[in-house]
Amino acid sequence: MGAEAETGPTRDLLCHDCDLVHAHVELERGEKAVCTRCGSLLARGVHEVAARTFSFALASLVLLIVANVFPFMEFKIAGRVQVARITTGVTQLWKDGYPELSCMVAFTSVVAPLVMLVGLLMASGPMLVGHRHPWMRSVGKVIGRLKAWSMMEVFLLGVIVSAIKLSQMADIVFGPALFAFLVLIVTSTAAVAVYDPPTFWDYLDGRDAA
């Protein structure tokens, strides 16, 4: 969505591609605003933003649960099988005497994504049915602060590097949690991408009737 600039009493839309300034307009359900010069997308209607955000966030939440419940991968060494889950690294770091690092990994790979996805559901759900609640403002602030702390991609990169190193010593069998985690990264990224904070705040302020 295009950036929005404050120009007096009305809030204008700035096209990211060609920098053309457009007057803000209220969009009806199913409508979207595009740049009159280059045709780039400027904004979507509230209902469309809410529906897309809710769908991706709900799918991501289900995938996050699957990724944490089922085995991530199995290591077979000399006839012994060791099952690794997402939380295995967290508990192992704690046992090895790295509580701070353990808490950081748990927060960035599990807690922050979980809270952010629940927050996206809490923000977009009421928008779908046309409700406004005072607590939605706090939810919007939490979402904004947690975006930078959700680092599932970094966690996955660490897992891949570890798997490559261990593949020389053990047979590795990838579990269903790994595939769920891969899809989760895609859906959660999409959820954050389609969630539009300016549209959310406009809705709470009653400035958008879409």
pLDDT in tens, 122-177: 999 998 888 889 999 999 999 988 887 777 777 777 777 777 777 777 777 888 88
- Separation in Å, CA 2 to CA 43, 47, 115: 7, 18, 27
The pLDDT value given to residue 4: 40
> Which domain covers residue 38, as residue numbers?
1-44
Phi-psi region of 41 (alpha: psi -120 to 50; beta: other; left: phi over 0): beta
User: At 140, which helix (H) or strand (E)?
Assistant: helix 135-146
- As a whole number, mean pLDDT of residues 38-55 equals 78
Considering the domain architecture, whether residues 76 and 6 belong to the same structural domain is answered as no
Which is higher by pLDDT, 209 or 103? 103
Considering the domain architecture, whether residues 54 and 40 belong to the same structural domain is answered as no
- As a whole number, mean pLDDT of residues 5-9 equals 36
Q: Is residue 209 part of a domain?
A: no
Rounded distance, CA 63 to CA 179, Å? 9
The pLDDT value given to residue 40: 63
Considering the domain architecture, whether residues 7 and 23 belong to the same structural domain is answered as yes
Q: For residue 68, how many other CB atoms are within 10 A of its CB?
A: 17
Evaluate whether 32 touches 13 at the Cβ level (below 8 Å): no
Evaluate whether 72 touches 175 at the Cβ level (below 8 Å): yes
Considering the domain architecture, whether residues 126 and 197 belong to the same structural domain is answered as yes
Considering the domain architecture, whether residues 102 and 4 belong to the same structural domain is answered as no
Number of domains in the chain: 2
Q: How confident is the model at residue 31 (pLDDT cuts 50, 70, 90)?
A: low
Considering the domain architecture, whether residues 29 and 75 belong to the same structural domain is answered as no
Considering the domain architecture, whether residues 32 and 109 belong to the same structural domain is answered as no
Rounded distance, CA 134 to CA 140, Å? 11
Which 8-state DSSP code applies to residue 149?
G
Q: Is residue 210 part of a domain?
A: no
- As a whole number, mean pLDDT of residues 71-88 equals 79
Considering the domain architecture, whether residues 40 and 55 belong to the same structural domain is answered as no
Identity of the highest mean pLDDT range in 98-102, 119-123, 197-201: 119-123
The pLDDT value given to residue 12: 65
The pLDDT value given to residue 27: 61
